[in-house]
Amino acid sequence: METSDGHVRLLAPLTHELAGSMSQWRKEVAPWAEKVAHLLGEAMKGKYQPVTPVTGTNHIEAQRTVRKRKTEEAIYQDVFTRETPPPKQRPRQNAKVTLSNCHTCGGPLARDQHVNCVICWESLSGQDFSTRKRRGEAIAKARGVGSQWRVEHPGERGDSEWYRATVLPGLQGIPLSRIMEACRVAKSSASAIRSGKRVPSERHWDILLILGKGL
């Protein structure tokens, strides 16, 4: 159908036929879409890890690698069992074997709850060992300061409703840099505090109240 301003719209029953064939369109277009995305990614500077969320190629390759490795292990175990006499004593239990594998390379995982192995994890942005170590130290330090404050202020528990009614309104015109300096937090956390999406630790309420009053 052509409208008065020249636009053309598709109507039923053609729209029904197109909707019914979407799965086939997805199958045909997905490989080309990912190929273009990978070409653009390889042209970028820095590390690029190609992913295949549409076609699932990486996951299929990882499964193929895992099946091949398990087949080789089974063959080796069968040969080893036939050639090696049974031990006289019960062997010691080995470490727990993980049942899942890395979603990227198919290798074994250090922990069941992980989705990537150590090598692939290190290749992700912001997940290298030094960055995770600094992040952990900062979290531990913040928890230590919070614990010390609770020891020095036993039984002192603030009311979040009081904070929202008394402290939060005064923060609306305060620059994020001043909130960052007062609470020792990142810019994203300071923005969440000023917008009210996050209630900071009680030890910061007094300084934020003073800050909001312009003192």
Q: Model confidence over 19-57: pLDDT tens digits? A: 888 888 878 888 888 889 888 888 888 777 888 887 888
- From CA 24, how far away is CA 96, in angstroms rounded? 43
Q: Predicted confidence band at 155 (pLDDT cuts at 50, 70, 90)?
A: low
Give the residue carrying structure tokens 């300096």.
181
- Global pTM value: 0.37
Please answer whether residues 109 and 102 qualify as being in contact, where contact means their C-beta atoms are separated by less than 8 angstroms. Answer: yes
Helix (H/G/I), strand (E/B), else coil: 108: strand
Tokens of residue 79, six digits:
């040969």
Please answer whether residues 43 and 84 qualify as being in contact, where contact means their C-beta atoms are separated by less than 8 angstroms. Answer: no
Q: Predicted confidence band at 83 (pLDDT cuts at 50, 70, 90)?
A: low
Average pLDDT, the chain: 78
Please answer whether residues 65 and 105 qualify as being in contact, where contact means their C-beta atoms are separated by less than 8 angstroms. Answer: yes
The per-residue pLDDT for range 161-172, each reduced to its tens digit, is: 888 888 888 888
Tokens of residue 180, six digits:
């960052």
Please answer whether residues 101 and 66 qualify as being in contact, where contact means their C-beta atoms are separated by less than 8 angstroms. Answer: yes
Please answer whether residues 69 and 101 qualify as being in contact, where contact means their C-beta atoms are separated by less than 8 angstroms. Answer: no
Going by C-alpha positions, the residue among 106, 134, 135 that lies closest to residue 119 is 106
pLDDT of residue 141: 75
Residue type, 137: E
Percentage of residues of the chain with pLDDT beyond 90 = 0
Going by C-alpha positions, the residue among 185, 186, 180, 187 that lies closest to residue 211 is 180
Q: How far is CA 95 from the centre of its chain?
A: 28
Give the residue carrying structure tokens 């192995």.
117
Most confident of 89-98, 114-123, 183-192: 183-192
Average pLDDT over residues 115-137: 76
pLDDT of residue 157: 59
Residue type, 32: W
pLDDT of residue 82: 59
